[in-house]
Amino acid sequence: MTTRIAIIRHGTTAWNKAGRLQGHSDIPLDDEGRDQARKLGQRLTEGPWDLVYSSHLQRAKETASIVAAAITHPHTLMEDARLREAGGGLIEGTTEAERIAQWGNDWKLMDLGVETTPDIIARGVSFLDDLLAEHAGKNILIVSHGGFIRKLISHLVPEAPHQIMLKNTAVTELLHSDNSWSCHLYNSVTHLEE
């Protein structure tokens, strides 16, 4: 039995454009982000999608609700806090220049309360284990966050190009079959290409 998951990064926000690290900060989509979500919804109408999940943060939740309304069989949007972005600790809301000004060039080596990669992966795997136990064999849409998605994919499918930053509303497709994961599509934004 194969479970198909399209995991999507949310649309753009004002903080994305300003280069501010969002983390757990609850930042809304901007107008361009809503437009990206509408285009993504049109792309995904071919489905079939059985379930739609989202992070509880509004930039992901709003992207997911726009997509869920567009697909052929509209779905109840389910939220799960385990899909939230990696926590940024003291660096949330700051730009790279501000981090260097405040903590110096080696700020990445300091303990600034940033959520650890093992903790991010643990909650992502916990979510997926529960999802597979309840919905194996389904086609599932998940809207989440770039840092979270990349860390999770680096764990599940190390050979996938997870070092590449995800674009807003990019679709990455994972398949789970015979107790293993594969990645058949990474960072696809064909819906944004005119």
Query: Is the full-model pTM beyond 0.85?
Result: yes
For residue 184, the surrounding DSSP H or E stretch is: strand 180-188
13 labeled part of a ligand binding site = yes
Q: Is 45 annotated as a binding residue?
A: no
Among the listed residues 10, 145, 162, 176, the single catalytic one is 10
Catalytic residue from among 85, 92, 145, 176:
85
Query: 50: Cβ–Cβ under 8 A, 6 or more apart, which residues?
Result: 75, 135, 138, 139, 140
85 is catalytic: yes
4-55, pLDDT tens digit by residue?
Answer: 999 999 999 999 999 999 999 999 999 999 999 999 999 998 778 999 999 9
Bridge-based pairing of strands 77-79 and 51-54 is: parallel
150 is an annotated ligand-binding site residue: no
Give the span between the Cα atoms of 31 and 92, in whole angstroms: 22
Per-residue pLDDT band at 74 (split at 50, 70, 90)? low
From 3.90.1150.10, 1.20.120.160, 3.40.50.1240, 3.20.20.70, which CATH number describes the 3-192 domain? 3.40.50.1240
Question: For residue 20, which phi and psi values (nearest 5 degrees)?
Answer: -90, 130
